Structure 1
Amino acid sequence: MVPQSKFFRIGYGILLVFLIIWVGVKIGFVFYPLKVLVQTLFSPILVSGILFYLFRPLVNLLTEKRLPRSLAILVVYLFFALLVTIIIIFVAPVLKRQFTELVGSLPALIQTAVSKGQELAESEWFTRFIESFNVDFNQISEKASDYLVVGLNLLSSNFKTVIGFVANVFFLVVTVPFILFYLLRDGEKIRDGLLKLMPKTQKSSVKAILSKMDETVSLYIRGQFIVAFIVGVLCLVGYLIIGIDYAFLLALAAMITNVIPYVGAFLAAVPAIIVAMVDSPFMVLKVVIVCVIAQQIEGNLVSPQIMGKQLEIHPLTILLLLLVVGSLVGPLGMLLAVPVYAVAKIVVVHVYHLLQLRFNPPEGD
């Protein structure tokens, strides 16, 4: 019969999915407590998970020296606190001074960048080039400056958002150390608890998959932090050599944006080029040379040695992902999109493998 054909079965499945979504929207109040729970715990668990993979090698190293695990965790905490204190004492004043100077000169930077852009747009060769694409450069530059000024005004005037951000940071500072402590101390028990849910015939396979998933996620998180730090140091050295203003802030921006593969290199170069435009065209050229050298070292020497080839993502996938997430979430989403996607991809692939073992056990088990 026709209603039993494959086409109709697919149609029934799609209608059933839409019906479930519609019912879920109508009874959304039932899931509100779950929504609040997820929103409250997401950030602390995410930060704790990242720190867990960064701190665990140090904790394991100390436990191998016959130090009790709880004491080893406390020693790592003290070392981290000492490192943060050193950064605050020696680096924070420089960053604060440069940030204050940058904020004070930001209107002038914007005006200079816009005026230089307009001068470029009025040049004869560039005008012919732009006209071939039917693009109004003056209108684009005016809108970009207007949007930037509006964004800065919103950040400065939205007191409620600032208070909420401070409260969230305080909540993270208070809760993350406790969550992280129990993750570092009882992390193995979590894996053992998952293994208890699996049949005895599949425990060895599941244990191997969990170990591989843990190793891959650990490699990605530690590798990204190490690579980003090295890129930041390379950019800082280069910026200090060429003598550009706000070298520490620009290097910090390069370090943060480098967590976005491929695209992060271009994002890191944008603020440095804007600052260099105020100086001279020759400074812009020197900034471009520094950024290119830093990214070549990172792409050809650092990343292959630290990251290997286990976590490669196609550039087209990254571009589409950034376009979608940027439209839905904004700049912060673009910063987190690729790392979250990479980790989620690892987890989904391995969980799918686990489900295959769970419902389709290998022959002979």
Structure 2
Amino acid sequence: MTEKVVALLFEKKSIRILLTFILIFTLIYLLSLTKFIFEPVGAYLTAIAVPIIGAGIIFYITNPIVNWLEKKKVPRIAGTFIVFLLIMLLITIIINFVAPVVQRQFSNFVDSIPKMVDNAERLFEMWQENQNIIPPQFENTIQNVMDNFNQYAETITSSIIGVIGQIFSFVFAFFLIPFFLFFMLKDGYKFVPFISKVLSPKKAKSFKTLTTNINHTLASFIQGQFIVSVCVGAMLYIGYLIIDLDYSLSLALFGLLMNFIPFLGPFLSAIPAIIVGFFQEPIMALWAAIVMIVAQQIESNLISPNVMGRALSIHPLTVITLILAAGGIAGFLGLLFIIPAYAVVKTIIAHFYREWKKKQPEEDPDLF
């Protein structure tokens, strides 16, 4: 009698789902108790994360070139060397032509900071003299900042020292990127067939479908975001040159890099341009904002729909929520990687859900 009751209970979908969740959370709890086993693995993955991620990003940008050369009967290893030559040529151009201009503009910007600070203090004093009533909260805030300025300076200095240490470790890992990239371009296509050999034909087919979908998702995001960001950077540079904004190349490159952050990037890149424009000439801040708005409108209405389309199929509200959460948890790196990470996880869950539905009876195919 008891066995029949248990069998009837397990036939109910709600009971099966409940037991599945209980087992998942039990597994998570057991993993948390034995996390000391996985700490060396985590340390190893952290150590190789920078070269793997860096090489992976460059791989998705350059792999179409290698594939195109392979279709033209060029051996894959020869195509890989051609890509490396193109990368070296691009780096040479940047070092010889772009870097000196950026360095000169950055030096001029640093030299002009004291003048900008003096102008800001003068503006504040003028505003203070022409105001009969200053909100007490605002005045207290300004006074608190002035009183604790030395403490803030020490905190900033210690933070800079910590960042310098991280930069050295990053630079060391950065030099490993070419080695990872070389083997990704040369042998990356062998990974799926190698894993498929140890799987049954049915599971191998499912694995190939999953990896194809993940590859398409990552390629759509990385290649599309790269093209869009380069176009935005070029438009900003042309616009800044037209309005004769100081440090135009540096600000355009900053806008290019910030555009890799979905949703928030354009707003972050507009702030320094508007500030520089304001101190150059107040009306210039308005022109800088107009250039940014025009560039973003062209990007959102013309470039992005044609380059990226709806490849990721992520709702804007979801993007905003993910960025806010990732920024609070993982900082700047979270802003960069949360959208592709979410897209990959979504692709994996959707794949296994489809596989699960195929195994269900036709009269009861839904999860709930």
TM-score normalised by length of structure 1? 0.81
- 1:17 is displaced (CA, Å) by 3.3
CA distance in 2, matches of 1:148, 1:256: 28
Secondary structure of the 1:91 match is helix
| Aligned-residue offset at 1:12 | 11
Give yes or no for the alignment of 1:261 onto 2:262: yes
How far apart, CA to CA, are the structure 1 residues paired with 2:356 and 2:46? Answer: 32
1-structure distance, mates of 2:153, 2:270: 21
**Structure 1 position 70 matched with structure 2 position 77:** yes
Using the alignment, how far apart are the partners of 1:66 and 1:169 within structure 2? 37
Percent sequence identity over aligned pairs? 34
Is 1:311 equivalent to 2:312 in the alignment? Answer: yes
Q: What is the CA distance between 1:299 and its match in structure 2?
A: 0.9
- Residue number in structure 1 paired with 2:366: none
1:325 and 2:322 equivalent?
A: no
Corresponding letter in the other structure for 1:184: L
* Counterpart-to-counterpart distance in 2, 1:135 and 1:197: 68
Q: Which residue of 2 aligns with 1:38?
A: 45
Contact persistence 2:102–2:250 (CA under 8 A): yes
Q: Is the 8 A contact 2:251 2:272 kept in 1?
A: yes
Q: Does the Cα contact within 8 Å between 1:121 and 1:138 map onto a contact in 2?
A: no
Name the counterpart of 2:343.
346
Structure 1, unaligned runs of 5 or more:
none
Report the CA distance shift for 1:331/1:185 in structure 2 as closer, same or farther (over 3 A).
Answer: closer
Deviation per CA, 1:80-134, whole angstroms, max 9, x where unpaired? Answer: 1011101100010011111122223334434544654676688769x89xx7xx9
Query: Match of 2:141?
Result: 139
Aligned to 2:179: 178
Aligned length in residues: 348
Distance 1:231 1:150 in 2: 37
Q: 2:112 matched to which residue of 1?
A: 105
Give the TM-score normalised by structure 2. Answer: 0.80
Task: Name the amino acid aligned to 2:188.
Answer: G
Per-residue deviation at 1:195?
A: 3.3
In 2, Cα distance between the equivalents of 1:276 and 1:230? 22
The SS at the match of 2:249 is helix
Seen in structure 2, the aligned counterparts of structure 1 residues 199 and 29 have a Cα distance that, compared at 3 Å, is closer
Structure 1 residue 154 corresponds to structure 2 residue 172: no
Structure-2 residue corresponding to 1:289:
290
Amino acid at match of 1:347: V
Q: Is the 8 A contact 2:326 2:338 kept in 1?
A: no
RMSD of aligned Cα (Å): 3.7
1:17 aligned to which of 25, 36, 40: 25
Matches within 5 A, 1:187-226: 187-196=188-197, 198-201=199-202, 203-204=204-205, 206-226=207-227
* Residue 284 (structure 1) shift: 0.9
Aligned to 1:241: 242
Quote how far apart the aligned CAs of 1:222 are. 0.7
Shift of 1:246: 1.3
On the 8 A contact 2:48/2:173 being kept in 1, the answer is no
Separation (CA, whole Å) in 2 of partners of 1:354 and 1:32: 30
